[in-house]
Amino acid sequence: MSAIDIDALRKTAEEEITVVSSGQALEELRNKYLGRKGVLAGLTSEIPSLAPEERAAFGKKVNALKGALLAAFERKQASGTASSSAGGAAAGVDISMPGVGQPAGSIHLITQVAEEVTGLFARMGFSVEEGPEIENEFNNFSGLNIPLEHPSRDNFDTFYLKAPGGGILEEKDGKLLLRSHTSPMQIRVMRSRRPPVAVVVPGRVYRPDAVDASHSFMFNQIEGFLVDRNVNFSHLKGVLESFARGIFGEEISMRFRPHFFPFTEPSVELDVSCIICKGKGCPLCGRKGWLEILGAGMIHPNVFRNVGYEPSKYSGFAFGMGVDRIALLKYGIDDIRLLFQNDVRFLKQF
């Protein structure tokens, strides 16, 4: 084939590509010219039979033809005028219509609730801190005025770890463990800062509990505390009432019940009216009409002494809540295991 014939072939091919109206026809043209047994392959196979002085010029012409045809096919494909349907242009894609979106992921419900709670306290002036999940026994227990004989320090209630060098550390307060609450950050923060301090601490905690509808060996807590001069129980009450209304709504009813915690004195638990029955009584609230959401109290003077604060000069309050429990109550979920089973049918509702 001469150079003139190649030029004519290029013109013919480009005209055919221009007028083609369906994706199927366009693909047939592509195979006709660029396929393994197509026109370009045939021209390339002729090169060895040419005279040596003709091969270079002919090869350049063939390569130029190939480049021109590839560009023509790309332009046609990009124009969208060749429908992928055998029905022709009328059955083509309407590029003016909105596309089909891909499903997007979302933040896990526990993270959503934790961010909502910490954001609420941040707006009250609390800073948000995080602490290590591996703690020593002093920060987790002794520093918080939890005595050696307290049952929470038993192996049945706490995950103790082996020291990096092997074995368990001999010193009682030096034992390593998976923190059983986020309260150890009280000790860490107060040891490193002087009052005033106002901090909330979200994080995972661990206890060797049997897994059921309301318990898990790993769950999420938020600890909060505030220390300054002249802090009293009315400040604690006001902060917790603002929190409860911010999470559950302005219409929620609350009550404070006396309780006992080693690290606070006096101590209370905060109940809110059941979000399902509105205080009338139902299975979720045990027919009581109330749901316990957190424990709190004024920080014990012994805790202040353990961190170097003067109880005669400073006072403060602390509170702790389970994020998972807040999520269950806020959204009326009856089984904590649903939060950890990665069932998309459940999680995509939030």
- Condensed to tens digits (0 to 9), the pLDDT of residues 2-19 reads 555 888 888 888 888 888
Domain boundary among 23, 57, 73: 73
- Domain annotation covers residue 89: no
**What pLDDT is attached to residue 165?**
47
Whether residues 206 and 272 fall in one domain: yes
Whether residues 41 and 188 fall in one domain: no
Instruction: Name, in order, each residue with C-beta under 8 angstroms of 68's C-beta and a sequence gap of 6 or more.
Output: 10, 14
Which CA distances in Å does 102 have to 70, 105, 106, 268? 31, 10, 13, 49
Dist. CA 190–CA 276, nearest whole Å: 39
Sequence-ordered strand ranges (E) for 160-196 = 176-178
Confidence of residue 98 (pLDDT cuts 50, 70, 90): confident
Whether residues 56 and 122 fall in one domain: no
- Domain annotation covers residue 82: no
Give the chain's domain count: 2
Whether residues 227 and 280 fall in one domain: yes
Dist. CA 307–CA 192, nearest whole Å: 9
- Condensed to tens digits (0 to 9), the pLDDT of residues 169-189 reads 455 557 889 999 999 999 999
Whether residues 116 and 22 fall in one domain: no
The domain containing residue 258 runs over which residues?
Answer: 109-131+181-348
- Domain annotation covers residue 136: no
Whether residues 34 and 123 fall in one domain: no
- Domain annotation covers residue 126: yes
E strand or H helix at 292: strand 290-299
282: closest CA among 332, 239, 325?
Answer: 332
Tokens matching residue 347: 């999680």
CA atoms within 13 A on the CB side of 233: 11
- Domain annotation covers residue 210: yes
Q: Are strands 254-261 and 134-136 parallel, antiparallel or unpaired?
A: unpaired
Domain boundary among 73, 98, 123: 73
225: closest CA among 112, 323, 314, 292?
Answer: 314
Whether residues 65 and 205 fall in one domain: no
Which amino acid would we find at residue 125? G
DSSP 8-state assignment for residue 145: T
**What pLDDT is attached to residue 1?**
57
Whether residues 237 and 312 fall in one domain: yes
Whether residues 29 and 115 fall in one domain: no
In terms of pLDDT, which residue wins out, 106 or 168?
Answer: 106
- Domain annotation covers residue 170: no
Whether the pTM exceeds 0.85: the reply is no
Dist. CA 18–CA 225, nearest whole Å: 74
Whether residues 53 and 195 fall in one domain: no
- Condensed to tens digits (0 to 9), the pLDDT of residues 118-165 reads 999 999 999 999 999 999 899 999 999 998 888 888 888 899 887 654
Whether residues 189 and 250 fall in one domain: yes
130: closest CA among 194, 188, 62?
Answer: 188
CB 177 within 8 A of CB 137: yes
CATH number at 251 reads 3.30.930.10
- Domain annotation covers residue 41: yes
- Domain annotation covers residue 193: yes
Whether residues 237 and 325 fall in one domain: yes
* Burial (CB count <10 Å: 0-12, 13-18, 19+), residue 99: exposed
- Condensed to tens digits (0 to 9), the pLDDT of residues 247-304 reads 998 988 899 999 999 999 999 999 988 877 777 777 667 778 888 889 999 999 999 9
